[in-house]
Amino acid sequence: MRLPELYLLHPAAVHFPIALLTTGWGACVLGRRAEWLSNAASWLLWLGTMTAWAALGLGLLAESTAPHVPPAWQTLNLHETLAYWTVGSFTVLSLWRWRWGRRKEGLFLALWLGACAVLLATAIQGGELVFTHGVGVGRSF
């Protein structure tokens, strides 16, 4: 049995940071009243950030397989730029949480929500690549 090319894991991998990081934000909001939820939010943030880096790496591998169609490449470039902003934002938030814990929690939550908005924009562009431009969708006969 032959293992699949690594880039084929990108569509599966992208769902982990989306789920972990958005759920983590909710846990962080609720964690203001329950310590265990605050701890869970930290772990969701850290795990979500690691999986975001993995999704970015797999996406960069997948980029080499994208068809050379100008509208698709414009969307792909935006998707890639947003992905870098996403992992950068969550990396900063992860380091903040690790270093300073719950200091300036209100600002931290606002920045996390903003990072989730960038994550959502990245996901929307990825969806456009697949559903509008057919990137990564093989033809079946």
Question: Residue 33, Cβ neighbours under 10 Å: how many?
Answer: 8
Residue 96: which residues within 8 A CB-CB, separation 6 or more?
Answer: 108
Confidence band, pLDDT 50/70/90 cuts, at residue 4:
low
Mean pLDDT of 76-83: 96
Residue 125 main-chain phi, psi, to 5 deg: -65, -40
Give whole-number Cα distances, 112 to 1, 26, 89, 100, in Å. Answer: 42, 10, 8, 15
Domain 6-64+71-131, architecture per CATH:
Up-down Bundle (1.20)
Confidence band, pLDDT 50/70/90 cuts, at residue 17:
very high
Predicted TM-score (pTM) of the model is 0.88
Confidence band, pLDDT 50/70/90 cuts, at residue 72:
confident
Percent of the chain having pLDDT more than 70?
Answer: 94
Percent of the chain having pLDDT more than 90?
Answer: 61
CB-CB contact of 28 with 41 (8 Å)? yes
Residue 65: which residues within 8 A CB-CB, separation 6 or more?
Answer: 7, 136
Mean pLDDT of 71-89: 94
pLDDT tens digits for range 41-63: 999 999 999 999 999 999 999 88
CB-CB contact of 91 with 49 (8 Å)? yes
67 class by beta-carbon count within 10 Å (0-12 exposed, 13-18 middle, 19+ buried): exposed
pLDDT tens digits for range 89-119: 999 999 999 998 777 888 999 999 999 999 9
Measured CA to CA, the distance from residue 46 to residue 24 in angstroms comes to 9
Question: Domain-by-domain residue ranges, the chain?
Answer: 6-64+71-131
Q: What is the mean pLDDT of the chain?
A: 90
On the question of pLDDT at 139 being above 60, the answer is no
What DSSP state is assigned to residue 95?
H
